[in-house]
A and B are shown apart, each in its own frame.
Chain A
Amino acid sequence: MALKKVFFSLPVCSSRWISTSCSRSAGFQGSKANIPLEMKLRMIERKKRRVEKLSKQPLAFIPITDFFIPYSWKMDKRARSKLEISEEEEDKRVLLEKEWARKTFRSRKQESWKIKLLLRHQQRALEELRQESEKLYNAALQCEDLSIPFTCRGPVQSTPLEGYLPPLGGYEHTDPLFSKDDLSLPEV
């Protein structure tokens, strides 16, 4: 009783007190080799419930770090020196831009026209096919023969050099952040 009085009179916050007594939920402390079947079944039930509870939690997106800028870049005052262009040069550049705009507009228009023509021809061909036979028409519209797992690689800027010996080395590919278990120990 006297101890209790002392505790209440001390001006200390309750979260600092650590209990050294044994807790109720310490778990099974014996060896896990020979556990009675009943206990095992109970453990299985508990684990199942825990797994269900965890799997109900909503998934979190992996953050997209594509546009993260290093902090050091923001601290220094980094600015390009101003280029001084003569009026003639500026006029030349503007006229070149306009010429380019005209060219791209014309080529885009031509390409969209070609695509429309293609679609029109395709539609007409399908209609003709339908008039010939319904079976062939249905077969032509099937989705199975299309190249669905399709890959296409863009061109490379330069051709391979003749007689060039590349240095010895390799590539190490890493997985994206938070996509795997990083806490597990790496292979030695």
Chain B
Amino acid sequence: MSLSCTWHLWEKSFRVGKCLPAISNSLRHYRNRPTHNIGRMHGLEKPKPPPVRKKEVGTWKPEEYKAVKENHLDALNFIVSGYDIVLVEQYAKFVHQLMIKFKQNILEVYALPSSNAVVKKMLGADQRLLKAMTPEIELTMYKRIIQVKDMPSQTYPILLQTLMHYIPQSITLKVDKHNEEQHLSRYQYRVELAEEKAMLQQLYDSR
């Protein structure tokens, strides 16, 4: 529709019925054309990364955890651990929110499998060994990890200060570099593979 055409429509509608025409300024829609939505900025989707292949689940890739820029730290693990799950979760949430506020590159936030601590009491003289003592209570140690990469070395002490200020009771915060051992502690122990490797080692030794 040309500009002159719309102007005629407006004039006619005002002269005839003193009302606005039903057709609005529809010069820019072109829904059937390839240029549709040309200036659109809202509702855009980020390109999704390719899904992890089944074979590569659990493989250790050290390049992913190295700092990209100079004077920036490699992948750090902020490990929040304690016996009270409520406090652990709340503090882990606090640490995560703080990282977001400081605009850090958060790689992953995950939980490590929990381990038990059995508190045992010695009730008699025959219970001298730890195994023989009577168990009183079983406490589970919960752990949450916030993995952060490319942290500038000057913001690290400031972040630590704030975290130290807010740490709740009975919680331990540990900051460590991410390495293969910590990476593999999330995964199950492969019994068959270990047995086969032991047998192979035996064959090598017996040569």
Contacts and interface: CB of A to CB of B under 8 A. Distances in A.
A176 B122 contact: no
Contact of B71 (A111, A142, A155): A142
Contacts of B154: 122, 126, 140-141
Contacts of A58: 54-58
Chain A to chain B: the 7 pairs with minimum beta-carbon distance, closest first: A59-B58, A176-B113, A59-B187, A58-B57, A141-B71, A168-B122, A169-B121
B196 interface: yes
A138 B71 CA distance: 9
Contacts of A152: 160, 163-164, 167, 172-174
Q: State the majority secondary structure of interface residues on B.
A: mixed
25 contacts: A43-B203, A44-B204, A54-B192, A54-B196, A59-B57, A59-B58, A65-B113, A138-B71, A151-B172, A153-B171, A155-B169, A169-B122, A169-B133, A170-B133, A171-B117, A171-B118, A172-B118, A173-B117, A174-B117, A176-B113, A176-B114, A177-B113, A178-B188, A181-B191, A181-B194
Contacts of A65: 113-114
A48 B200 contact: yes
A65 B3 CA distance: 68
Task: Give chain A's interface residue range (CB within 8 Å of chain B).
Answer: 35 or more
B4 interface: no
A122 B188 contact: no
A60 interface: yes
Interface in B67-113: 71-73, 76, 82, 85, 101, 111-113
